[in-house]
A and B are shown apart, each in its own frame.
Chain A
Amino acid sequence: MNIASARQSASGASIRISRLEKRFGAVSAVDGVDIDIAAGEFIALLGPSGSGKTTILMSVAGFEFPTSGTIHVDSEDLTYVPSNRRNLGMVFQNYTLFPHMSILDNVAFPLKMRGLRTAERHARAEAALATVRLAGYGQRRPNELSGGQQQRVALARAIVYQPRVLLMDEPLSALDKNLREDMQLEIKRLHAELGITVIFVTHDQSEALTMADRIAVLRDGKIQQIGPARQLYERPANLFTAGFIGEMNFVDVRIESVGDDVAVALPWGETWRLPAAAAVEPVAAGEAAVLAVRPERLQLGANPGGQVITVTLSDIVYAGAALLLIGRLPDGTEMRARIPGASQLSSLAPGNVASFTIPTEAMLLYRGKRR
């Protein structure tokens, strides 16, 4: 087998996770999760610690068995199949290379478990090492490699037997920032090259947004939202996702009336009429609601096509490409704005009162209360 044929691999498998539940005593780590993953898709499970993302991955890997629910890979029920018979590639957070084996033997280990002869094992392991750009490192020991190199070896070991699914449990969190960005691209490249289905667990939202085709946002064992990065960022499905993904300003408001448009009462006495499409969740007159807007959508000055707010500035932070303005609305609610370019802003100083326009289409309305 040569390098070319090692790279040309079977395409990925589809995965169907349905009604997945995992309870530890009284605690539900995973609470009725459904995810359909298409063959060859790159999906990220994103959530804070304790959200159940790792438990879902471990159930797919076979290291945890769910309390109820099923996991199918290509219509084969794997729910209770032992991990060593699932034929899924897995990359762990802390590299988990076998310290007493050479790099080549590490990568060849899955092939050894599948009974391949030594010569073929080594040829295929060499090819996998070449795929992760570590050709020629086979004779070294794991402790002679840097963290990034070790994780690439772990990646080679996970793909060497051409699994149709690759599972990754926070694989980059042990690496420093620059290395992490290199590895993100490396993994994206491998995904494109191999056509393998990837489930990637992370608590780093920018990592999820950069890498995944779709992102499942999890909290307390439940899926909050699942969709492509753009959808998650531009129209978060609920308050949790709105606050979890990216930066967001929140203003507590009250719904006055709901009709062709929605009238909301602002805490400082104004009433705004918003298009009905602004309401992400159904709202009813008389209820409390939260108005959300991304800091980069705010425009400096009073412009047509939106609502104007006055903000008393407290901090002005120069952040290279953009300027971050932090201030308070008349009722004391904090408001942040990210304004590109620093041209006309030199006149602003902390303590100044500035006007901003919130474009109508940038406003999102959720049920509930922020504070």
Chain B
Amino acid sequence: MKPPTDRGSLALGAYVYAVLAFIIVPLVIVIPMSFSQNDYLAFPPSGFTLKWYSEYFDSRQWRAATWLSVQVALLTALFASVIGTAATYAMIRGRSRLVTAFQILLIGPIIVPHIALAVGLYLFFQTIGLSGTIPGFVLAHTVLTLPFVVFTMAAALGKVDPNLEAAAMSCGATRFQAFRLITLPLVLPSLASSALFAFIISFDEPVVSFFLSGVRQKTLPRRMFEDIEQNLTPVIPAIATLLIVLSILILLGAHVLRSRSVTR
């Protein structure tokens, strides 16, 4: 005798697979398109060529945009992880009544629409001359990526017994030594993983970059938008494919770092 078919769980299964398909199909389509011999974006792709990749790597403009994005993302990762860790430490260990307000301010950028932030920063940076500059991009992206650092570090720091630092101080360590020699090594994998997240978020951040980019200083996402408007060649899926590979590598790296911190 066959067990009765559970229509409910069948429907749920179908739904889950449909959602996954919607997420993954665009990624999968982009990859074959990047190898297409057509001179315009088309699906299904025809033939096989690496010329779009070489066009990307040979173009001075593409390389300049990529280099700018890399610089911005590296600096953003550095600032966001350092500031975010310090802020989270204060939030978790602090006894101040302002902690809640502080928390809301820190994670605010996740709730505020990026377009609102972008417009505000655009007007502000225009007047003070930060628009289209690396410090301008880094400032904006640091604000955007802080919440992710705060979430990751709050989980990590919450697991470290505050008495460990007290013990270190009773052993003669200063407050800063206690943090540097005890707490920091314990949360270092999470710190590295939050820096990786900040890097990738900054690297392909489109909205704020769109507003802040100048005539010469263009980040990679901004440059891609322009290319879509003007040329629409398969160089876009080629870059998208490279970005997907980079993101997957970074996610894997973050995962390895986090599982290391768990086993310790």
Contact = CB atoms under 8 A, between A and B. Distances in A.
Specify whether A and B are partners: yes
Nearest to B173: A113
Contacts of A93: 163
A63 interface: yes
B252 interface: no
Contacts, number: 63
Nearest to A169: B163
Contacts of B170: 61-62, 83-84, 86, 88-90, 158, 167
A114 interface: yes
A98 B182 contact: yes
A96 B167 contact: yes
B169 A83 contact: yes
Contact of A113 (B166, B175, B177, B185): B177
B264 A100 contact: yes
A189 B161 CA distance: 30
A92 B166 contact: yes
A157 interface: yes
Contact of B168 (A89, A98, A154): A98
Interface residues of B, number: 18
Interface residues of B, dominant DSSP: helix
Contacts of A63: 166, 169
A310 interface: no
B174 interface: yes
A92 B171 CA distance: 12
A82 B166 CA distance: 11
A356 interface: no
Given A92-B167, A99-B186, A113 B172 contact: yes
B180 to A, nearest CB: 12
B164 interface: yes
A87 B166 contact: no
B264 A92 contact: no
A109 interface: yes
Interface of B: 161, 163-164, 166-175, 177, 182, 185-186, 264
The 6 closest A-B pairs by CB, nearest first: A113-B172, A90-B170, A110-B171, A96-B167, A84-B169, A83-B169
